[in-house]
A and B are shown apart, each in its own frame.
Chain A
């Protein structure tokens, strides 16, 4: 490539029609869902935003010292205290009378497990912070250990499948109910498969005065065992099977759901991922677990009322379907 073309590529980067909050050159795996999720969140929130980031893949792959992929002010925190740091930033800004949006980010390990106490405190004190959890359903950065968010029957290095067990023995923690119990103004789930829905929820979470929580389902090709090209496909299937309900809550009440027009069997989702491959071997135990996962997805569909045929069943406002000549990704 000619030198001037390189230069113009660099300039092109600086003149993209939308703010790109997370720059290229980060070290996430090929097809990382979290890297995509973090960029989408940052560009919907930014540029006038301060990010507090719990350690985990996101923190590690974006900040190979002394370089950073972040194009917004960003602060590293410990594994367990991103919500506390964000609370402090918000309180400090308030004390100085300055205006900036504050977003805290953490993985599922940082959120469902070790940071839950700090998160609960932040929500209880109703800080004006949006907390975003990138849920890749295990401790990926340290080598795929199970977390309380790991789905039932998924294999991880600490919940392997073998003669005794079919992957993780326990259920995925129902974090949403815990969040709901805090009675915060806004909480939602989203996925990297539906970027406009995700961005809309980020904006809404920041608009609302008080604490907001967003759970972003983020496939991890390495930990889930799927091709990096299939990240969106896997995320989409999680929604279409009912495995990952996409919804919005206000004051703990579900106020909107992304409806599923044609519900697909949960095996469509599972069979793309090596972490569930033991469920597809002929055995009575595997059969039981497959049926169990199907029942869990059916349960979601039932309790959240996910089945439906609104004009845009995939999205509560504006589907991610393509049409010519329109700015679709709002």
Chain B
């Protein structure tokens, strides 16, 4: 065996021979390797599930140590966390891997905590002032879609003018979602700070009334249309309409703006969405003795798929029931029972939405299951469509803007649309996501670059985590106002305190991202994982020393979060 000793050439060592002891570091065992460990960022399910594009994993990792950094991470996608933390349906929590272990992380409560913290401390959005000669973009409608687009365009350095028909910004956040789940000061203070980043806000300016689209196309490099869906759909039962028919959204908006409601005794609200359930609760809070919500869909619950369930938020339906609202689910209205033009009842029938031959789903009524419900008013709350006035040129015969994957209105270069005004979506977080995607597309459009075709990476499944390293821990107990103490003005859901937020954030599995647990560093039999905060450039705290790593794969197997993958040696 030839061994190099100090100062000497290779010598053959015999028994009793002498050599200076050397460190085993001289033996580069890395050449045994056939596969090597690499750090691999994987998308977490919560991130992929968020319609607004948030990465909860990232801000959950930061919130305990540095709430401000956590908030900045959050608002890199969603500028309205105090709002969405309260009203989003939280698909992140539905997909959360932790939900398959014990209970999902209460992401929404932490999102809300960060949003509220920012309001309380007046944190500035991380946006620089745009250059005075920056390209100009017009945004129409200051609901969540328009606000998000304006914000993300500003972040990209554009000068944004935001036109709003109403005197104040917010859209349905201000105009329709009731204060018991979205207090007005929260909406106002979050939006006020958002607008102050340098967005030119022009209230009382309605497209179609105060200006026309062609003018905007002339003065701006691109236009984002986010007028929401304002026009109530026509409603009748077999052509019959009661004389004093009022639309649900209209009633809700009226109550919010002037605080009054018609006097009802027994009401049936038709439709299973948020407008229906919110109006039902507002009526209840205002003393209406009997309020029914009629929907051909099922109430949400375990085993009910989202397309079978009533579209209103599950939590809101649960609370409405607690407050005494009657939910007549799987029912349709077949006949209005009138005395003159006054409603005295409705005939209901059992219904279920079932797949049809052509692949669509349609509600089917089951003959012989008719019942009569005695009510003095029916209120349709069956959804809205885009008010076409002023937008006919791009809307055509559609009820919603037909947009491509980029958010650009089909056949109209430079005009983008999103939020409730496009088909699909219909939630605040969808609107926020639309605004961000449109801002990115507008940026590419103005700079004349094509979108990079890239499929969203699949999220990391629970099977790719090593659950041996996680203990069961109950989800933070969120306190709701008792049903008898509720009213239309007081927020029902209590916030989590900083301690509870810290504890809850620790429940996050950190799916697909290093959580600095030290497992690889501790468990490598070859001491080939080195710990460093400075030198690890991939967001982890560790480096593989490939001079010594033998490629056993133990670190990859024991990584709790699936951040290490074994790949073939190049």
Contact = CB atoms under 8 A, between A and B. Distances in A.
Interface of A: 1, 6, 8-10, 12-13, 16-17, 20, 22-28, 30-33, 35-36, 39-40, 62, 64-69, 192, 195, 221, 227-233, 236, 312, 319-325, 328-329
A197 B199 CA distance: 58
Given A24-B548, A67-B27, A328-B517, A231 B560 contact: no
B548 A323 contact: no
B525 A13 contact: no
Given A25-B548, A322-B470, A66 B22 contact: yes
B525 A35 contact: yes
Nearest to B519: A322
Interface stretch (B324-332, B427-435, B551-559): B551-559
A23 B527 contact: yes
Given A27-B29, A35-B525, A39-B525, A229 B24 contact: no
A33 B525 contact: yes
A102 B188 CA distance: 69
B528 interface: yes
Main secondary structure of the interface of B (DSSP, over half): loop
A1 B543 CA distance: 13
A229 B469 CA distance: 16
Contacts of B569: none
A328 B516 CA distance: 10
Nearest to A230: B557
A318 to B, nearest CB: 12
Nearest to B508: A324
B24 A23 contact: yes
Contacts of A25: 23-29, 548
A198 to B, nearest CB: 11
A156 to B, nearest CB: 22
Given A12-B530, A25-B27, A28-B525, A232 B554 contact: yes
Contact of A228 (B471, B508, B552): B552
B9 to A, nearest CB: 15
Given A24-B29, A67-B23, A229-B556, A9 B515 contact: no
Nearest to A8: B535
A8 B22 CA distance: 20
A229 B553 contact: yes
Contacts, number: 146
6 contacts: A30-B32, A31-B552, A32-B525, A68-B21, A322-B515, A324-B510
Given A1-B546, A24-B29, A236-B468, 4 more contacts: A20-B527, A24-B527, A24-B548, A35-B525
The 8 A-B residue pairs with the shortest CB-CB distance in the complex, in nearest-first order: A229-B553, A25-B24, A30-B552, A228-B552, A31-B552, A24-B548, A66-B19, A69-B24
A83 B468 CA distance: 36
Contacts of B515: 322, 324
B545 A24 contact: yes
A320 B65 CA distance: 22
A26 B526 contact: yes
Bin chain B's interface residue count: 35 or more
B3 interface: yes
Interface in B468-522: 468-471, 505-506, 508, 510, 515-519, 522
Contacts of B558: 232-233
Interface of B: 3, 5, 13, 19-29, 32, 61, 64-65, 468-471, 505-506, 508, 510, 515-519, 522-528, 530-532, 535, 543, 545-548, 550-554, 556-558, 560, 566
Contacts of A6: 547
Contact of A62 (B24, B64, B471, B508): B24
A263 to B, nearest CB: 15
Contacts of A325: 64-65, 506
Contacts of A8: 535
Given A66-B20, A67-B22, A322-B515, A16 B531 contact: yes
B526 to A, nearest CB: 5
B342 to A, nearest CB: 63
B535 A31 contact: no
A40 B470 CA distance: 22
B530 A16 contact: yes
Contact of B545 (A9, A17, A32, A231): A9
B554 A66 contact: no
Given A25-B25, A325-B64, A9 B518 contact: no
Contacts of A236: 468
A329 B525 contact: no
A215 B530 CA distance: 28
B527 A27 contact: no
A35 B526 CA distance: 7
A221 to B, nearest CB: 8
B557 A195 contact: no
Nearest to B470: A321
B560 A322 contact: yes
Contacts of B517: 322, 328
Contacts of A329: 518, 522
Given A229-B556, A325-B64, A67 B26 contact: yes
A229 B557 contact: yes
B557 A324 contact: no
B550 A30 contact: yes
A106 B363 CA distance: 75
B551 A30 contact: yes
A68 B553 contact: no
B525 A67 contact: no
A307 B560 CA distance: 25
